[in-house]
């Protein structure tokens, strides 16, 4: 397989971000959710105005994973008050790591994860945290393999459906 490149996403990439975001979220969660809830979530969370707002936030960063010139996954991290739940200035949230299904098992997620850890270390945060759907065994396994520990749960709303996310944390060695 070709080298995986990581590229910071800018406002000029909004159409590509919307496309990869909708595709990977649908591939990951359509099977376990209603069509109506999925449609509502995809329209709200991946609208141009929502993505423009997130891309304009200095405490949120997006990165594409590219194979050749094809976008095959993406990462979103948040710092400070842009974190979705824990607003600890000494923490970094991995809000999203998503990879196109055809590229699962090809180290794309690992490259995106490594970028998140690199950012966390450069910002000198104490820990990295995230929420992962309790039914997403693949993602839970990935994070456990990377030394994340479960520490809490929270509710994630997908359309009208309230789902439980497992919150996981990785303390960084300083």
The whole-number pLDDT of residue 173 equals 78
Q: Encode pLDDT of 115-168 as tens digits.
A: 999 999 999 999 999 999 999 998 999 999 999 999 999 988 888 889 999 999
Identify the band that residue 79 occupies on the pLDDT scale cut at 50, 70 and 90: very high
**Residue 1: pLDDT over 70:** no
DSSP classification of residue 17: H
- pTM beyond 0.75: the answer is yes
| Given the residues 41, 74, 98, 143, the one annotated as active site | 143
Instruction: Give the DSSP letter string of 113-145.
Output: HHHHHHHHHHTT-SEEEEEEETT-HHHHHHHHH
Indicate if 143 belongs to the active site. Answer: yes
Give every strand in the sheet of 70-79, ordered side by side: 4-8, 60-67, 70-79, 91-99, 127-133, 161-171, 149-158
Residues paired with 126 in a beta bridge: none
Asked if residue 111 lies in contact with residue 77, where contact means CB atoms within 8 angstroms, the answer is no
The whole-number pLDDT of residue 159 equals 83
**Residue 48: pLDDT over 90:** yes
Q: Encode pLDDT of 12-47 as tens digits.
A: 999 999 999 999 999 988 888 899 999 999 999 999
**Based on the number of CB atoms within 10 Å of its own CB, is 12 exposed (0-12), middle (13-18) or buried (19 or more)?**
exposed
The whole-number pLDDT of residue 2 equals 63
The whole-number pLDDT of residue 158 equals 85
Asked if residue 161 lies in contact with residue 37, where contact means CB atoms within 8 angstroms, the answer is yes
Nearest CA to 52 out of 92, 23, 17 is that of: 17
Which residues in the chain belong to E strands, given as ranges?
Answer: 4-8, 60-67, 70-79, 91-99, 127-133, 149-158, 161-171
CB atoms within 10 A of CB 32: 13
């Amino acid at each position: 397989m070709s080298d995986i490149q990581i590229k910071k996403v800018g406002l000029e990439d909004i159409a590509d971000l919307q496309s990869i975001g909708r595709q990977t979220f649908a591939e990951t969660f359509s099977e376990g959710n209603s069509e109506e809830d999925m449609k509502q979530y995809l329209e709200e969370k991946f609208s141009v105005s929502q993505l423009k707002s997130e891309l304009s936030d200095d405490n949120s960063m997006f990165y594409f994973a590219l194979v050749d010139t094809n976008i095959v996954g993406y990462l979103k991290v948040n710092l400070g008050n842009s974190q979705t739940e824990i607003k600890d200035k000494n923490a970094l949230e991995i809000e999203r790591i998503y990879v196109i299904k055809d590229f699962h098992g090809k180290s794309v997620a690992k490259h995106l994860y490594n970028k998140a850890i690199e950012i966390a270390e450069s910002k000198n945060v104490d820990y990295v945290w995230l929420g992962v759907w309790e039914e997403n065994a693949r993602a839970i396994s990935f994070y456990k393999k990377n030394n994340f520990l479960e520490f809490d749960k929270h509710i994630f709303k997908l359309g009208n459906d309230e789902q439980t996310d497992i919150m996981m944390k990785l303390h960084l060695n300083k």
